[in-house]
Amino acid sequence: MRLREIPVDGIPYDRLCVEKIPAAPEYIARDPELVPASNRSVVVNPNRICMPIGAMWAVLGVHRAIPFVQGAQGCTTYARYTFCRIFKEPATIATASFHEDAAVFGGRKNVIEGIRNLVVRYWPGLIGVVTTCSSEIMGDDMVSFLKEARARLSREIGREKTEEIPIVLINTPSFAGSHVEGYDRASKAFLESLATTRDVLSERVNIIPGMLYPGDIREIRHLLEEMNVEGTVLFDISDTLDAPLNPPQEIPYYPPGGTPVSEIRQMANARATFALQPHAGGSGARYLERKFGIPAFIGPVPIGVAATDAFLQNLSRITGREIPASLRDERGRLVDAMADTLHHTMMKRVAIFGDPDVVIGMTRFACELGMTPVAVSSGTPSKTFEGEIESIFREYRELFLAEPRVFNGGDLFEFEEYLKTLPQIDLILGHSKGVDISRELEIPLVRVGFPIYDRFGYQKKPVVGYRGAELLLYEIVNELLDYRYPDDRTQQL
Within 420-439, which residues bind another protein (CB under 8 A)? 433, 435-436
Q: Which is nearer to another protein, 81 or 474 (CB)?
A: 81
Q: Which is nearer to another protein, 153 or 272 (CB)?
A: 153
Q: First-to-last CA distance in the chain?
A: 28
Q: How far is the CB of 83 from another protein (least distance, A)?
A: 9
Q: Is 456 in the site for another protein (CB under 8 A)?
A: no
The interface region with another protein, picked from 56-64, 107-115, 328-336, 390-398 by CB under 8 A, is 107-115
Q: Is 73 in the site for another protein (CB under 8 A)?
A: yes
Q: Is 339 in the site for another protein (CB under 8 A)?
A: no
Q: Which of 55, 65, 82, 477 binds another protein (CB under 8 A)?
A: 82
Q: Is 1 in the site for another protein (CB under 8 A)?
A: no
Q: Which is nearer to another protein, 62 or 75 (CB)?
A: 75
Q: Which of 55, 60, 62, 75 binds another protein (CB under 8 A)?
A: 75
The torsion angles phi and psi of 62, rounded to 5 degrees, stand at: -110, 145
CA dist., res. 79 & res. 91, Å (int): 9
Q: Which is nearer to another protein, 99 or 333 (CB)?
A: 99
Q: How far is the CB of 88 from another protein (least distance, A)?
A: 6
**How many CA within 13 A on the CB side of residue 301?**
33
Q: Is 298 in the site for another protein (CB under 8 A)?
A: no
Q: Is 491 in the site for another protein (CB under 8 A)?
A: no
Q: Which is nearer to another protein, 73 or 202 (CB)?
A: 73
Candidates 444, 429, 442; CA nearest to 482 is 444
Q: How far is the CB of 213 from another protein (least distance, A)?
A: 16
Handedness of CA 356, 412, 69, 125 (dihedral sign): negative
Q: Which of 32, 90, 158, 387 binds another protein (CB under 8 A)?
A: 90
The interface region with another protein, picked from 25-33, 199-207, 217-225, 351-359 by CB under 8 A, is 25-33
**How many CA within 13 A on the CB side of residue 302?**
30
Pairing relationship of beta strands 126-131 and 405-408 according to DSSP bridges: unpaired
At residue 95, the 3 state secondary structure works out as strand
Q: Are 143 and 135 in contact (CB under 8 A)?
A: no
Q: Which is nearer to another protein, 44 or 481 (CB)?
A: 44
Q: CA 446, 447, 452 angle in degrees (round to 5)?
A: 160
284-301 core/surface letters (b: 16 or more CB in 10 A; e: else)? bbbbbbeebebbbbbbbb
**Burial class of residue 39 in the structure, from the number of CB atoms within 10 Å of its CB (0-12 exposed, 13-18 middle, 19+ buried):** exposed
Q: Is 345 in the site for another protein (CB under 8 A)?
A: no
Q: Which is nearer to another protein, 149 or 234 (CB)?
A: 149
| Strand (E) or helix (H) holding 440 | helix 435-441
CA dist., res. 104 & res. 178, Å (int): 27
Q: CA 462, 465, 470 angle in degrees (round to 5)?
A: 70
Q: Is 5 in the site for another protein (CB under 8 A)?
A: yes
The interaxial angle of helices 305-319 and 214-227, nearest 10 deg, is 50
Q: Which of 60, 65, 95, 443 binds another protein (CB under 8 A)?
A: 95
Q: Which of 76, 277, 308, 363 binds another protein (CB under 8 A)?
A: 76
Q: Is 26 in the site for another protein (CB under 8 A)?
A: yes
Q: Which of 110, 269, 363, 459 binds another protein (CB under 8 A)?
A: 110
Helix H segments across 346-434?
Answer: 356-368, 385-395, 412-421
Q: Is 74 in the site for another protein (CB under 8 A)?
A: yes
The interface region with another protein, picked from 131-139, 209-217, 297-305, 391-399 by CB under 8 A, is 131-139
Binding residues for another protein, total number by CB under 8 A: 91
Q: Is 85 in the site for another protein (CB under 8 A)?
A: yes
Q: Which is nearer to another protein, 85 or 221 (CB)?
A: 85
Helix H segments across 277-383?
Answer: 282-292, 305-319, 325-345, 356-368
Give the CA distances from residue 268 to residues 124, 206, 297, 329, 478, in Å, rounded to whole numbers and listed in that order: 24, 9, 15, 34, 45
Q: How far is the CB of 492 from another protein (least distance, A)?
A: 39
Q: Is 166 in the site for another protein (CB under 8 A)?
A: no
Q: Is 50 in the site for another protein (CB under 8 A)?
A: yes
Q: Which of 6, 12, 41, 200 binds another protein (CB under 8 A)?
A: 41
Q: Does the bond joining 300 to the residue before it have cis omega, within 30 degrees of 0?
A: yes
Q: Is 18 in the site for another protein (CB under 8 A)?
A: no
Subset of 223-282 contacting another protein (CB under 8 A): 243, 245-249, 251-253
Candidates 303, 250, 317, 321; CA nearest to 462 is 303
Q: Which of 11, 103, 342, 346 binds another protein (CB under 8 A)?
A: 103
Q: How far is the CB of 65 from another protein (least distance, A)?
A: 13
DSSP, res 321:
P
Q: Is 145 in the site for another protein (CB under 8 A)?
A: no
